[in-house]
Structure 1
Amino acid sequence: MGAGIAHAFVLAGAHVTIVERDEDAAAAARDRVEQAIDGSLERGLEADRASLVASLATATDAAAFAGCGLVVEAVPEDPALKAEALARAEAAIDETSVLATNTSSIGIGSLAGALARPRRFVGLHFFNPVPASRLVEVVVGDATDAQVVADAQGWVEALGKAAVTVRDSPGFASSRLGVMLGLEAIRMLEEGVASVADIDAAMELGYRHPMGPLRTTDVVGLDVRLGIAEQLEAELGERFAPPALLRRMVAEGRLGRKSGRGFYDYD
């Protein structure tokens, strides 16, 4: 996800710095972004590869964020981990910079509690895969400054994407609706209502979804979807309780496309 966000901003003409946990992770992130740039060029993007690559830097210390106008946190969906990453990033930037989180389910207000400048904090919820998805949710916390919201909407538009602005609430709009659909599809599979392919085809052909809920879960990652469901269950109740099939598949390492196998086989 972080590499996808970096790729989107590089293509939009921004100077981008990726901060990773160690040198190996930083090198891997650069490789992912450069491969994504190459893919964009192969698909017809008219740009100079050398210039795009030169606008990308990597580091292992949050101090590298000094001077950045926007920092987007994209660590895993763990509240403590996100709070730590956001605090380190905030300490490296000045009072005019904006700090954003890419969380898909954790409340902006709860993350803002660990920050010194919550008015400069906003949610920017990108969707996976970032290059192919047009939607970005701009999530507004109680303390978020109105100008920060306007700036965030402008950044999304500059990326060639569409901004949907939502009030801070569990699961926002997209995760709350998308997870509910995905969980019900898994329950239907669990109950033997229909096959994986037929459940997906019902939504693709009947409701014109570009991708069915089970294949979407594979793309998102079953472990990610499980984490979001558990978060929403804790905040909104048992209607978001993860099905046993989802828990079992995650325990077996069937995480979707990234592991080679989920509801579909990608080997």
Structure 2
Amino acid sequence: MSTVLKTIGIVGAGQMGCGIAQVSALAGYKVNIYDLSQERIESALATINGNLARQVSAAKMTDDERKAALSLISGSADVNDLAPMDLVIEAATEDESVKRKIYTLVCPVLKPDAILATNTSSLSITRLASATDRPERFMGIHFMNPVPVMKLVELVRGIATEEATFKMARDYVSSLDKTVTVAEDFPAFIVNRILLPMINEAIYTLYEGVGTVDAIDTAMKLGANHPMGPLQLADFIGLDTCLSIMQVLHEGLSDSKYRPCPLLVKYVEAGWLGRKSGRGFYDYRGEVPVPTR
């Protein structure tokens, strides 16, 4: 296994992929974002440019640093462009069948000693690794959203992950000025195993009429000193993602305390997925978000 990581491939030009590309380029890595859609790639590059420009305006970096970071990021809709990458991080949607399809597509083009990682927030690393040609060079590198702001990264080994793979992943995360926490390969790892049941409980509290959206979020912000209320946070994460993580916990741990709240299911069925779709527990279509219940 080569000892120095220089190039990072990212699969998926969504919010997480953008953030991982941005922090990697700022740390001096050459980055290639792969996505099936050229339009999404261009949108991702524009988002990163906008984020970096805001950092320059806020005097958090110089314009030269912005240009240097941008010069290290490219995008491609051709999977073969991932061939020279030392580390490839899959940051696709939280759906196991989608991730498996990606590995089938990506693995044949990777060089033999390349590491493949997933940014999954809840799925079994061991099970995902079994869908690749390199389970010993596969692991979970779970960044938090939004990546440029959040300091934590969860590292999760599968049953077959080699120590050298883990060490390389840990060195990579440290080079981004992030803090590593190591989680065992159990459903939803550490952060989401604790966070999502709290959000689900907040939704039950709304469902049962204990409090309104506003009352619940105000109570947790001022009563528990949380920076944002649990329903506001659910909208930020995406209600579809919240539901899929609760389903992983419920199925994986077979405990009724992880049963997704029926109201969460109803919102997802309505397509009210939170901030990204314009409506969730709040309606974002006007000047200020308004509670929808």
**TM-score w.r.t. length of structure 1:** 0.94
Q: Deviations over 1:71-97 (max 9, x none)?
A: 110111111110121232222222322
Matches within 5 A, 1:219-238: 219-237=236-254, 238=256
Could you tell me which residue of structure 2 aligns to residue 41 of structure 1? 56
User: Which residue identity is paired with 1:84?
Assistant: K
1:259 equivalenced with 2:277 (yes/no): yes
> 1:264 Cα deviation (Å)?
2.1
Distance 1:98 1:56 in 2: 19
Pick the aligned partner of 1:156 from 164, 173, 178: 173
Tell whether the 8 Å contact from 2:235 to 2:274 is kept in structure 1 after alignment: yes
Aligned length: 267
Q: Which runs of 4+ in 1 moved over 3 A?
A: none
Secondary structure at 1:132 match in 2: coil
Distance 1:43 1:98 in 2: 36
1:218 equivalenced with 2:218 (yes/no): no
1:16 equivalenced with 2:34 (yes/no): no
- Pair 1:205–1:154, CA change in 2 (3 A): farther
User: Which residue identity is paired with 1:147?
Assistant: A
Could you tell me which residue of structure 2 aligns to residue 195 of structure 1? 212
> 1:115 Cα deviation (Å)?
1.3
Tell whether the 8 Å contact from 1:71 to 1:89 is kept in structure 2 after alignment: no
Could you tell me which residue of structure 2 aligns to residue 244 of structure 1? 262
User: Which residue identity is paired with 1:33?
Assistant: I
Tell whether the 8 Å contact from 1:179 to 1:225 is kept in structure 2 after alignment: yes
Tell whether the 8 Å contact from 1:128 to 1:219 is kept in structure 2 after alignment: no
Tell whether the 8 Å contact from 2:22 to 2:69 is kept in structure 1 after alignment: no
Gaps of 5+ in 2: 1-15, 286-293
1:170 equivalenced with 2:199 (yes/no): no
Distance 2:54 2:199 in 1: 29
User: Which residue identity is paired with 1:209?
Assistant: H
Instruction: Please report the RMSD computed on the Cα atoms of aligned residues, expressed in angstroms.
Output: 1.5
1:118 equivalenced with 2:135 (yes/no): yes
User: Which residue identity is paired with 2:216?
Assistant: I
Could you tell me which residue of structure 2 aligns to residue 128 of structure 1? 145
> 1:11 Cα deviation (Å)?
1.7
Distance 1:160 1:87 in 2: 32
Could you tell me which residue of structure 1 aligns to residue 100 of structure 2? 83
**TM-score w.r.t. length of structure 2:** 0.86
Distance 1:4 1:248 in 2: 30
Secondary structure at 1:109 match in 2: helix
Gaps of 5+ in 1: none
Could you tell me which residue of structure 2 aligns to residue 206 of structure 1? 223
Distance 2:99 2:259 in 1: 23
Distance 2:169 2:123 in 1: 19
Q: Deviations over 1:205-264 (max 9, x none)?
A: 333322222111111000111111112211112322211111111122221111222222
Could you tell me which residue of structure 2 aligns to residue 51 of structure 1? 68
